[in-house]
Amino acid sequence: MDRVVIVGGGVLGVMHAVQARSRGMDVVHLEREAGPRGASIRNFGLVWVSGRAAGAELALAQRARTLWEELAAVVPEVGFRPHGSLTLAGDAAELSLLTEAAQLPDAAERGFELLDPAAAIEVNPVLRGEFEGALFCRRDAIVEPRKVPGAFRDFLIHSTPASGGYEWLPAREAIEVAPHAVRDHTGAWHRGDLVVLCTGAAHTGVAGPHLAGYERPPVRRVRLQMMETEPLPARLTTSVADGDSLRYYPAFDLPGRARLAPQAPAAAAAAAQLLLVQRLDGSLTIGDTHSYDEPFAFDVDEAPYDHLRQRAERLLGVALPPTRRRWAGVYSQVTGTDLYHRSQVAPGVLLVTGPGGRGMTCSPAIAEETFAA
C-alpha cells in the first residue's frame, strides 16, 4: 500500500494519517471545514482507562494510552499529562462501589488504589470539599483537545519531505465514493490504495447511503453539554470525577451499583455526570450530559450547568471561577457490542466511526488496528 486518502480532520482521522505516515504511505487528508469543529475538540481531552470494561475494551484503551505517551514525546504540543484521575465518593454507597472496583482482578493493571480523604488530598491538594474517599487511577491521562488535531497536522506537514507525503486539504467536503476513490465538492477525485472515511457524527453525507443499508443502524448520535471556566489559581494534579460517573462506565457495573442513591433530579433528567479537567491555562472543563433522542435541541439547558457547577464546588470546597464558555456537541456511538464501527463502503473504502465516549482515548489504537487489519 502506497497511498491513503483520509476524510475527516478530527482526532480519528488525524490518527489514521499519523499511522499511515509511520508506515511510509503518502496521505491526502480532506476536511469539510477549515479545521475540525466537531466532537474531537468538544470533549475533556481525557485518556480514560479507569472506566473501561474488562477484556477487549480495556486492552484497546491500554494500548491507546501507551501510544498517546509515545506520540506526545514526538509532538509535545498535544499537552499530554500522565496525571491520573480521582473518582470521589460522596456517600457510603459510592465508597462501597469504589471499594469493589479496587478489588477487581485487573485493578493493578488499571492503576487503581482506594484512598481515604486524607490520602486523596495528598494526591490532589486542591481538594477541600466533602467526600468519603476516592479511587485513584494512575493510568488515566489528559491531553488538550482543542490543540490535538492541529498539533499532529502541523507535525505531519513539517515532517514531510518537500517531495510530498502528506497533503492537507481543508474546506473540502467529500460527496461521492467509488472504488479506491472519493470525490469532493469541487469535483476533484482523490484516489488511493485505501480510502478511510472518519466522518464522525455525520451519519448522512458521504456515509449516509452506506449506513442506510443496515436493517438496524450500527451507530447512533449522542448529544452532550459542557462548560469551561476562567482559570482557577490553584493547580489540580489529577482529573476529577464524581460518583455519578459510576453509573455510566462499564468497569463499575458491579453489585454495588444497584445500591447507589437516586441521582439529583437535574442530573437524572440530563443523564449527567461530573468530570472535571484543568486545562494548561488553568481553566476548568466541566461536564457532561447525555441525550440520545433526536432531533436534538438547538439550544442548551441551564439546569445541568447549575447542577454540575454546584457539584464541583462541593467536591473542591471552593467557589469556581466565572464561566467563560458553554457548548453542546454530538458524537457517534456504536449501538451494538463492538467498540467502534468499521465497515467496507466500497472496494478500497472503509468507514471508521462510532467510538462514542472512547474517541479521544482510543483513537490511536483504533487507527493502528485499521492498518493492522
| pLDDT for residue 163 | 60
Q: What is the pLDDT of residues 160-204, one digit of tens each?
A: 776 679 999 999 999 999 999 999 999 999 999 999 999 999 999
Closest CA to 102 of 91, 90, 122, 116: 116
Average pLDDT in the chain = 96
| pLDDT for residue 36 | 86
Distance, in Å, from the CA atom of 275 to the CA atom of 239, rounded to the nearest integer, reads 8
| Average of per-residue pLDDT across 96-109 | 97
Contact 353, 333 (CB under 8 A): no
What's the pLDDT band for 98 if we cut at 50, 70, 90? very high
Distance, in Å, from the CA atom of 313 to the CA atom of 180, rounded to the nearest integer, reads 53
Q: What is the pLDDT of residues 43-83, one digit of tens each?
A: 999 999 999 999 999 999 999 999 999 999 999 999 999 99
8: left (phi over 0), alpha (psi -120 to 50) or beta: left
| pLDDT for residue 373 | 85
| pLDDT for residue 120 | 98
Distance, in Å, from the CA atom of 37 to the CA atom of 146, rounded to the nearest integer, reads 9
How many other C-beta atoms lie within 10 A of the C-beta of residue 320?
18
Distance, in Å, from the CA atom of 186 to the CA atom of 174, rounded to the nearest integer, reads 9
139, containing H or E segment: none
Q: What is the pLDDT of residues 112-147, one digit of tens each?
A: 999 999 999 999 999 999 999 999 999 999 999 999
pTM of the shown model = 0.96
Cβ neighbours for 271, distance < 8 A, ≥ 6 positions apart:
248, 289, 290, 291
| pLDDT for residue 287 | 94
Distance, in Å, from the CA atom of 63 to the CA atom of 52, rounded to the nearest integer, reads 12
Domains, the chain, with CATH or none: 3-41+147-216+337-372 (3.50.50.60), 85-138+219-334 (3.30.9.10)
Distance, in Å, from the CA atom of 373 to the CA atom of 338, rounded to the nearest integer, reads 16
